[in-house]
Structure 1
Amino acid sequence: MAQRELVVFLHGLGTGPSSWASQLASLPPGFAGFVPPIAGLDAGDPTPFTLRRATARLLDELDARGAARVHLCGLSLGAMVATQLAIDHPERVASLVLSGGQVHPPRALMALQSVLLRVLPERIVAPDGTGKERVIAVSREIAGTDFRDRLAAITAPTLVLCGARDVANLRGARALAAGIPNARLHLVTGGGHELNTDKPAEFTGQLLAFLASVGPSLHGDEGGDHPIGP
């Protein structure tokens, strides 16, 4: 049996590995899915979240699985982790799908988000159990991110996705597509921020068409399970 190419799905803040169920179930022969937790988001993990720490942990996970080069697909915070890894270790990334990501979050937007996070109840801010204070700390880390001068270091074929209704992230999507060499931008009509669950059929269709253009044949006879989690 030929070795399958690994597609690594990185979830957003407030969601988890299960949010990728539709995409995992749709992966064609020739590909296997892996949905690792993002370091620093688990309420039981005392280590604070940083993009560098999250990418280092992800590399450790990939090394443990003998995955030298993978396809990355990230949503929101997961897209930022994927971007960081693709900048720092371009040799490890076969392709890149970024949905609802940011390059340099607008200060006004992040200030408003900070205020909202403080006043909203924990059940709304952190429905997955991450914890309100941790979500606020992650938001602070994201606010300080600036990829603008480093996007040209990304060498992987890249698809940038964004929901047309995800107004807060449209600017970031366009900046990613403009800054990453040969990246392609696709806006999903009627789509919100969490495209993988909001518009799963269109998201999956875009993902599979993209993988078909950069990966092995989708008509091979390799099969197998699509694992979720570590």
Structure 2
Amino acid sequence: MLALTAFGALHYDLVGPSAAPVVCMLHSLTSDSGMWAEQVPALLTAGYQVLRIDMRGHGGSSATAGEYRIDELAADVVRVLDQLGLSAVHLVGLSIGGMIGQALAANHPQRLASLVACATTAKWDGDSAMMHRRLAAVRASGSLDPIVDDAMTQRYSPALRERRPLRWRALRETFLGTSLSGYFGCMHAVLNHDVSRLLPSVRVPVLVVAGSDDPVTPPAANRTIAAAVPGARYEEISGGRHFLNVEFDDIFNRLLLDWLASQGDR
């Protein structure tokens, strides 16, 4: 399904019983809604609706040239919710998806029943030199090929490739399928993201989930979010890298379902 906007179309899918609470899932940079494949069956079995949105320039959504901002990407989510007539959702976002989720919690709190912010940060203070090297490599080659293997190593341990080679290959192909406009635009959004000063005013229930071995958004960055948001809860998955929901799906799903059940609408 598509939501039409001034810049183009946003692709999304919504599955599950129509009267059930909605869990909205936002993916990472150079990914798409398919990164949540391990979570959808568990959520449907538990009786939720699942809404997955492809960020602009990713998956089936239109790409526009130029620099994106996290607030713009958050407004895209609100557009989809408005089109569907959804007043509030439980939002789950990973990496840039978690950045968008924080912006929604701060600036559109009425649209969130709760937030699960995964493998993310309140302000980009990670390895900026690495990010700029990647930007330069992609610009020079006109392709994401020079950076994909290093990124896959940051996202998953070698064990995932050995245990689930087809899934690993599919995730790699999704990375390479990201439009260059989407990549450049979202990299700008990430590098300029800073919602830290707004977090103490957030009143949305928040769960922060980090991977102990995540080199992109390490545990300290995630603990900072949990410490800043009043009443937020922090969980850490041992051995998890950046895509902890894929490699440690059983643990992640248990944390997610327990959190959703604690919010009182299941």
Q: TM-score surpassing 0.5?
A: yes
Q: CA deviation at 1:97?
A: 0.3
Q: Deviations over 1:58-116 (max 9, x none)?
A: 1111111111011000010111111111110111110110111111111x611222113
SS at match of 1:150: helix
CA distance in 1, matches of 2:264, 2:55: 25
CA distance in 2, matches of 1:123, 1:8: 30
Q: Deviations over 1:147-180 (max 9, x none)?
A: 1110122211111011000133122201111111
In the alignment, which of 29, 34, 40 is matched to residue 24 of structure 1?
Answer: 40
In the alignment, does 2:128 pair up with 1:110? yes
Counting only pairs closer than 5 Å after superposition, residues 176-215 of structure 1 correspond to structure 2 as: 176-215=225-264
Say whether the 8 Å CA contact 1:160–1:176 is kept in structure 2. Answer: yes
In the alignment, does 2:35 pair up with 1:13? no
In the alignment, does 2:229 pair up with 1:165? no
Q: CA deviation at 1:134?
A: 4.1
Shift in alpha-carbon separation, 1:124–1:212, aligned structure 2, 3 A: farther
- Higher mean displacement: 129-138 or 60-69: 129-138
Name the structure 2 match of 1:151: 199
SS at match of 1:46: coil
Say whether the 8 Å CA contact 2:23–2:48 is kept in structure 1. Answer: yes
Say whether the 8 Å CA contact 1:158–1:184 is kept in structure 2. Answer: yes
Counting only pairs closer than 5 Å after superposition, residues 111-130 of structure 1 correspond to structure 2 as: 111-119=129-137, 122-123=144-145, 125=147, 127-130=175-178
CA distance in 1, matches of 2:180, 2:80: 27
CA distance in 2, matches of 1:197, 1:205: 13
CA distance in 2, matches of 1:148, 1:104: 6
Answer 1 or 2: higher relative contact order, Cα 8 Å, separation at least 6: 1
- Higher mean displacement: 117-126 or 166-175: 117-126
Extract unaligned runs of 5+ from structure 1. 218-230
- Higher mean displacement: 124-133 or 9-18: 124-133
Aligned partner letter, 1:34: L
In the alignment, which of 93, 96, 102 is matched to residue 77 of structure 1?
Answer: 96
Name the structure 2 match of 1:226: none
Identity score, percent: 28
Shift in alpha-carbon separation, 1:137–1:54, aligned structure 2, 3 A: closer
Q: CA deviation at 1:193?
A: 0.4
Shift in alpha-carbon separation, 1:143–1:19, aligned structure 2, 3 A: same
Say whether the 8 Å CA contact 1:163–1:190 is kept in structure 2. Answer: yes
Q: CA deviation at 1:138?
A: 2.1
CA distance in 2, matches of 1:2, 1:18: 21
TM-score normalised by the chain length of structure 1:
0.86
Extract unaligned runs of 5+ from structure 2. 1-16, 149-174
Aligned length: 216
Aligned partner letter, 1:123: D
Q: Deviations over 1:112-145 (max 9, x none)?
A: 2211342366225463422346424422321111
CA distance in 2, matches of 1:214, 1:142: 29
Shift in alpha-carbon separation, 1:112–1:31, aligned structure 2, 3 A: same
TM-score normalised by the chain length of structure 2:
0.75
Q: CA deviation at 1:44?
A: 4.3
SS at match of 2:216: helix
SS at match of 2:55: coil
Q: Deviations over 1:26-62 (max 9, x none)?
A: 0144411010111344684225432122111111111
Aligned partner letter, 1:87: A
CA distance in 2, matches of 1:135, 1:2: 34
In the alignment, does 2:97 pair up with 1:67? no
